[in-house]
């Protein structure tokens, strides 16, 4: 919030009775009191110029500045991921603007209870603010760098830019100024609307209707024009990129892949991520070299956005191609819901294929052009539809096979993929009855089943590693190689496993962070989260929000990066025989990129 709240006792002189003498029935005394309040507030806003002899370009109030200073300093407290200087400046500027608005509200409420008008602050008051600002901001800036250094150490991040760090206060000041001017602009629009409305209705009603009108127009512009235009532009840009083929990827020569010989899905309709999925992956020779057994070449089926007009038709085409390639004749069949632009984490499928000795089939389909973090914010309905349609199409064919000839049916998904994958099921028993196992990684906080399992966890189990109904079907872990709680209880039948890092903002981000403290912050932190991270209204929300686009920019095992964890995750869910701890360690090195 960046502008003064609309209150009749401190509104601008323009909000008084119109020249024709019409009023609101409160009498001359009330109008004189309102005029004095307006003059007092104007004097307070101009207080910064007292004694200087010059009129400042940007007038600010003392209470607002105190609020801005408080939240600006608090913005340096640690969040889930390490922050660069520019990002820290952005968070600081937004927090300062919110603090300024909260300071105005606090001053208004106090004056209302004290039953007094606003007063012009003295030069001494501004001097105290200036000294405190220098000391407190400098201290917060220094502590912020210390905390960031520790977070980078926890995650093994070596990138650091001293220039960007020095620039962060200036970035913050620019962001604060822009937001402040935006708020002032909305206030001026309100005054104009109120003056216009007073031609037909009373002053009080004009003020209320004016604010509602301006707020409605502003929301419409932001959500409809700006956000909608941004999403459309992004969709157009990424749709062009979707026609490209990743470097090093070639059209498969195997009939076991979509886009290959005899495929029902043309290569040029797969999209960028679909071509990467079917045009890569371990060969039978590579799998056999790992398992030291005769291995098969895995089946991979995929449908891109250009393959068919809607989600149902794409799912039917992908499943038809899966059936053509003999996917339903394999021992292990995996239905995986993609993230955003159709991406499937290679580590997730490669691990499944290695541990299945190549006797596997995987099917997926694209539902958006947008990257994962943006799809996470605007494409949730498409992920839900894709996950449900794809699983239902696979299950329809699978359930009609003779019981002894059905492959083991598995489900997987990362991020929005887990969200889409969940939508095909009603709960724990549905997952148990219709699958042989499930592996979800980095589930968004709004996942229906994830929230159900977490919210109804056993008393005493932390939110970062909940225990649901003694772990009989569903379990959670940060690192499956280190064990999956509860280790002392049986885990029989279908296994459903959620991989989630304590430092993954995708897992923990929620709009409720703005006004309520979640359990995962109040409880003991995870291994890669600082104990100094505390919840603060508004500030924590913006900090975790800013972490979202950078959630995959940290080494494996932190944030939203799940690579090696898939090896031990699938080992726990599939329960393959004949693999030792040394074999699993070798497989981690195979599926994890060298830079990790």
Q: Which residue shows structure tokens 């497989």?
A: 587
Closest C-alpha among 390, 455, 464 to residue 420: 390
Residues 192 and 335 in one domain: no
Which residue reads 């693999």 in tokens?
579
Does residue 185 sit in the same domain as residue 248?
no
Which helix (H) or strand (E) segment holds residue 501: the answer is none
Residue 48 CA: distances (Å) to CA of 178, 421, 538, 547: 20, 57, 28, 36
Q: What is the pTM of this model?
A: 0.84
Question: Tell me, what's the pLDDT at 372?
Answer: 67
Domain match, 193 and 252 both: no
Residues 275 and 356 in one domain: yes
Q: What is the pLDDT of residue 26?
A: 40
Tell me the C-alpha distance between 32 and 38, whole Å.
10
From residue 20, how far is each of 16, 23, 199, 490 by CA, in Å? 11, 9, 10, 83
9-13, 188-192, 248-252: least confident range: 9-13
CA distance 197 to 191: 10
**Residue after which a domain boundary falls, among 170, 198, 226:** 198
CA atoms within 13 A on the CB side of 520: 26
Asked if residue 532 has pLDDT above 60, the reply is yes
Least confident residue range of 364-378, 439-453, 481-495: 364-378
Q: Give the number of domains in the chain.
A: 2
Residue 518 belongs to a domain: no
Domain end marker among 198, 226, 250: 198
Please indicate, yes or no, if residue 369 is contained in any of the structural domains.
yes
Cβ pair 422, 448 in contact under 8 A: yes
Residue 223 belongs to a domain: no
In this structure, the number of other CB atoms found within 10 A of the CB of residue 365 comes to 32
Longest CA–CA separation in the chain, Å? 97
Q: Is 323 within a domain? A: yes
Q: Dihedral of the CA atoms 390, 393, 398, 401 (nearest 10)? A: -170
**118 and 261 in one domain?**
no
The answer to whether the bond into 418 is cis (omega within 30° of 0) is: no
* 152 and 264 co-located in one domain: no
Mean pLDDT, range 431-460, rounded to an integer: 96
Band (pLDDT 50/70/90 cuts) for residue 4 is: very low
- How far apart CA 462 and CA 567 sit, in angstroms, is 25
Cβ-Cβ contacts under 8 Å for 277 (sequence gap 6 or more) = 270, 300, 302, 342, 344, 349, 364
- Per-residue pLDDT tens over the stretch 382-420: 888 999 999 999 999 999 999 999 999 999 999 999 999
Q: Are 548 and 506 in contact (CB under 8 A)?
A: yes
Higher pLDDT, 82 or 18: 82
Measured CA distances, 318 to 277, 323, 325, 342 (Å): 13, 9, 11, 13
> Do 297 and 179 belong to one domain?
no
Mean of pLDDT over the chain: 87
Residue 268 lies in a domain: yes
Whether residue 272 contacts residue 278, with contact meaning beta carbons closer than 8 Å, is answered with no
Are 168 and 275 in the same domain?
no
Q: Encode 343-354 in three state secondary structure.
A: ECCHHHHHHHHH
For the ranges 42-51, 81-90, 176-185, 267-276, which has the lowest average pLDDT?
A: 42-51
Q: What is the DSSP letter of 257?
A: B
Q: Residues 87, 155: one domain?
A: yes
Mean pLDDT of 293-302: 97
Q: Is 584 left (phi over 0), alpha (psi -120 to 50) or beta?
A: alpha
Label residue 234 by pLDDT band (50, 70, 90).
low
- Of 174, 198, 222, the domain-final residue: 198
Q: Are 334 and 363 in contact (CB under 8 A)?
A: yes
Query: Is residue 546 domain-resident?
Result: no
pLDDT tier at 228 (50, 70, 90 boundaries)? low
pLDDT at 222: 65
State the residue range of the domain holding 456.
Answer: 242-504+551-591
Q: How confident is the model at residue 594 (pLDDT cuts 50, 70, 90)?
A: low
Distance separating alpha carbons of residues 93 and 42, to the nearest angstrom: 25
| Domain annotation covers residue 347 | yes
Name which of 94-108, 367-381, 464-478, 544-558 the model is least confident about.
367-381
Q: Are residues 374 and 494 in the same domain?
A: yes
Given pLDDT bands bounded at 50, 70 and 90, which one contains residue 186? confident
- Give the residue among 88, 158, 157 at the shortest CA–CA distance from 557: 157
Strand order in the sheet with 437-441: 299-303, 360-365, 332-337, 408-414, 437-441, 495-499, 474-477
For residue 125, pLDDT over 60 is answered with yes
Q: Is residue 24 part of a domain?
A: yes
Q: What is the pLDDT of residue 572?
A: 97
For residues 190 and 304, membership in a common domain is answered with: no
Query: Can you tell me whether residue 299 is helix, strand or coil?
Result: strand
- Look at the block and give the residue holding tokens 């090896």: 567
CB 362 within 8 A of CB 319: no
Residues 568 and 486 reside in one and the same domain: yes
Q: Mean pLDDT: which of 81-90, 108-117, 323-332, 380-389 is highest?
A: 323-332
């Amino acid at each position: 919030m960046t502008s003064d709240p609309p209150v009749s006792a401190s509104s601008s002189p323009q909000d008084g009775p119109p020249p024709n003498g019409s009023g609101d029935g409160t009498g001359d005394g009330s109008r004189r009191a309102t005029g004095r309040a307006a003059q007092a507030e104007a004097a307070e806003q101009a207080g910064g110029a007292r004694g200087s002899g010059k009129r400042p370009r940007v007038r600010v109030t003392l209470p607002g500045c105190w609020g801005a200073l408080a939240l600006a300093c608090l913005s340096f407290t640690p969040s889930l991921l390490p922050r660069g200087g520019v990002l820290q400046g952005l968070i600081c500027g937004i927090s300062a603007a919110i603090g300024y608005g909260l300071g105005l509200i606090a001053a208004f409420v106090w004056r209302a209870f004290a039953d007094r008008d606003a007063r012009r602050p003295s030069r001494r008051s501004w001097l105290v603010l200036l000294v405190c600002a220098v000391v407190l901001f400098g201290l917060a800036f220094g502590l912020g760098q210390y905390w960031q250094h520790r977070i980078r150490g926890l995650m093994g991040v070596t990138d650091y830019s001293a220039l960007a760090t020095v620039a962060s206060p200036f970035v913050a000041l620019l962001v604060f100024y822009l937001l402040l001017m935006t708020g002032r602009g909305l206030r001026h629009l309100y005054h104009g609307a109120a003056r216009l409305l007073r031609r037909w209705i009373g002053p009080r009603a004009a003020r209320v209707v004016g604010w509602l009108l301006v707020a409605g127009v502003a929301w419409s512009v932001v959500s409809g024009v700006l956000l909608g235009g941004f999403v459309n532009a992004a969709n157009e840009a990424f749709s062009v990129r979707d026609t490209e083929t990743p470097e090093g990827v070639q059209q498969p020569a195997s009939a076991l892949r979509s886009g290959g010989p005899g495929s029902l899905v043309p290569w040029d309709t797969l999209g960028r991520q679909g071509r990467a999925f079917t045009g890569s992956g371990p060969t039978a020779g590579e799998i056999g070299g790992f398992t030291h057994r005769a291995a098969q070449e895995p089946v991979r089926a995929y449908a891109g956005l250009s393959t068919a007009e809607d989600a149902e038709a794409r799912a039917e085409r992908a499943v038809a191609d899966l059936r053509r390639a003999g996917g339903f004749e394999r021992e292990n069949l995996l239905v995986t819901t993609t993230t955003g632009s159709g991406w499937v984490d290679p580590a997730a499928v490669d691990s499944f294929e290695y541990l299945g000795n190549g006797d596997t089939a995987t099917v997926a389909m694209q539902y958006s052009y947008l990257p994962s973090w943006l799809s996470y914010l605007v494409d949730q309905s498409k992920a839900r539809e894709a996950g449900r349609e794809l699983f239902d199409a696979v299950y329809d064919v699978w359930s009609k096979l003779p019981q002894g000839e059905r492959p083991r049916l598995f489900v997987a998904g990362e991020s929005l993929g887990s969200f889409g994958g969940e939508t095909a099921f009603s709960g724990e028993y549905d997952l148990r009855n219709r699958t042989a196992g499930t592996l979800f990684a980095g589930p968004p906080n709004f996942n229906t089943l994830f929230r159900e399992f977490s919210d109804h966890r056993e008393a005493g189990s932390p939110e970062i590693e909940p225990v649901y109904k003694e772990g009989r079907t569903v379990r959670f872990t940060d690192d499956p190689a280190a064990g999956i709680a509860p280790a002392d209880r049986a885990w029989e039948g279908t296994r459903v496993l959620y991989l989630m890092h304590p430092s993954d903002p995708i897992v923990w981000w929620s709009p409720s962070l703005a006004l309520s403290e979640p359990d995962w912050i109040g409880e003991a932190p995870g291994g890669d989260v600082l104990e100094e991270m505390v919840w603060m209204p508004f500030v924590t929300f913006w900090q975790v929000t800013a972490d979202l686009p950078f959630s995959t920019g940290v080494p494996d095992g932190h944030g939203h990066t799940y690579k090696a964890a898939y090896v031990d995750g699938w080992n726990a869910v599939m329960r393959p025989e004949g693999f030792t701890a040394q074999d699993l360690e070798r497989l981690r090195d195979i599926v994890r990129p060298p830079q990790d």
